[in-house]
């Protein structure tokens, strides 16, 4: 599962960069990289990908963040490089940041009020689009000029966002995904209703800490046998390193308990 998701994320990242960089010269099949994104799909009023990802999230959690989002893949690449240097400390559990919800509300309000530039600065696909306008300015010039902003400033905003996210990923893992990104926060709100989730079996866990060490989302707390599935980006790094098969991707029993019938049954 982990290898499949890494392969898919890599292919989608390359396709995204080629699609945005080559512009009109790009082969049409590469357009799947844009059509599979949540916000571009919603904006283009075709909603197919948006509906698909909502259903996928209800079934499996934030798999969108593990597979097709180019900003997620770029952070994974940074984290991989960080690991290769061998100089960084292991990841540790972090308390969830409450400001992620006000950011989500501000993002939705800005879209509703027509302030599209907010979306162009914080929404992941547009961050990459702004960066790639360095080689293909024609793709974003209309957008920025309609907002009364020069292409150069739009391009700079993309690079500033990209650099901040990369530095954050180098130091702390998927911090942008778990604390800032409005798309990730919105998908994370569905976590109590997902069919599958990541969970630790307290009877099998030997507290070796390997899963917490590798969790770039900082959402595993071994001490309490806790996995915060609202922040889990379904990278499956934890399930891959566990020596005792104690952390697994499995049916979300908490969800079943939350239904009234199950409560009566209990």
Within a 10 A sphere around the Cβ of 82, how many other Cβ atoms? 16
Closer of 94 and 151 to ligand SF4 (Cβ)? 94
Neighbours of 183 (CB within 10 A): 24
Partnered with residue 196 across adjacent β-strands are 251
Token pair of 82, please? Answer: 């960080």
199 has which bridge partners?
248
The span from the CA of 1 to the CA of 173, in Å, is 21
Q: What are phi and psi of 215, to 5 degrees?
A: -80, 100
State which of positions 165-204 bind ligand SF4 (CB under 6 A): 176-177, 181, 183-184, 198, 200
Residue 165, burial from CB neighbour count under 10 angstroms (0-12, 13-18, 19+): buried
Least distance from C-beta 27 to ligand SF4, angstroms? 24
Q: Does 222 bind ligand SF4 (CB under 6 A)?
A: yes
Cβ neighbours of residue 98 closer than 8 Å, sequence gap 6 or more:
none
The token pair that represents 111 in the structure block: 């879209």
| Footprint on residues 35-74 left by ligand SF4 (CB under 6 A) | 65, 69, 71-72
> Per CB under 6 A, which region of 10-18, 106-114, 131-139, 236-244 contacts ligand SF4?
236-244
Among 207, 250, 258, 259, binds ligand SF4 (CB under 6 A): 207
34 is an interface residue for ligand SF4 by CB under 6 A: no
Least distance to ligand SF4, CB of residue 19, Å: 16
251: CB partners within 8 A, 6+ apart: 195, 196
Residue number with the shortest CB distance to ligand SF4? 184
Note whether 126 binds ligand SF4 by CB under 6 A. Answer: no
Q: Looking at 25-33, 111-119, 149-157, 234-242, which segment touches ligand SF4 (CB under 6 A)?
A: 234-242
Contacting residues toward ligand SF4, per CB under 6 A: 65, 69, 71-72, 124, 176-177, 181, 183-184, 198, 200, 205-211, 214-215, 217, 219-220, 222, 227, 232-238, 241-242, 244, 246-247
């Amino acid at each position: 599962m982990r290898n499949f998701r890494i392969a898919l994320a890599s292919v989608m990242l390359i396709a995204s960069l080629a699609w945005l960089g080559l512009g009109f010269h790009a082969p049409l099949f590469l357009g799947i990289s844009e059509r599979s994104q949540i916000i571009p799909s919603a904006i283009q009023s075709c909603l197919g990908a948006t509906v698909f990802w909502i259903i996928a999230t209800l079934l499996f959690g934030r798999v969108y963040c593990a597979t097709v989002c180019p900003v997620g893949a770029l952070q994974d690449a940074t984290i991989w490089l960080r690991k290769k240097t061998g100089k960084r400390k292991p990841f540790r559990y972090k308390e969830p940041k409450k400001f992620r919800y006000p950011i989500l509300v501000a993002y939705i309000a800005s879209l509703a009020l027509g302030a599209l530039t907010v979306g162009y600065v914080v929404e992941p696909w547009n961050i990459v689009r702004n960066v790639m306008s360095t080689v293909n300015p024609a793709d974003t010039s209309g957008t920025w000029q309609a907002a009364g902003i020069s292409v150069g400033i739009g391009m700079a905003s993309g690079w500033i966002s990209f650099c901040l996210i990369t530095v954050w990923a180098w130091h702390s893992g998927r911090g942008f995904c778990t604390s800032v990104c409005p798309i990730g926060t919105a998908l994370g709100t569905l976590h109590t209703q997902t069919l599958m989730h990541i969970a630790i079996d307290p009877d099998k866990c030997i507290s070796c800490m390997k899963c917490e060490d590798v969790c770039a989302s900082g959402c595993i707390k071994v001490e309490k046998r806790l996995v915060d599935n609202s922040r889990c980006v379904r990278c499956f790094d934890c399930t891959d390193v566990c020596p005792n098969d104690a952390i697994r991707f499995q049916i979300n029993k908490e969800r079943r308990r939350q239904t009234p019938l199950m409560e009566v049954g209990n």
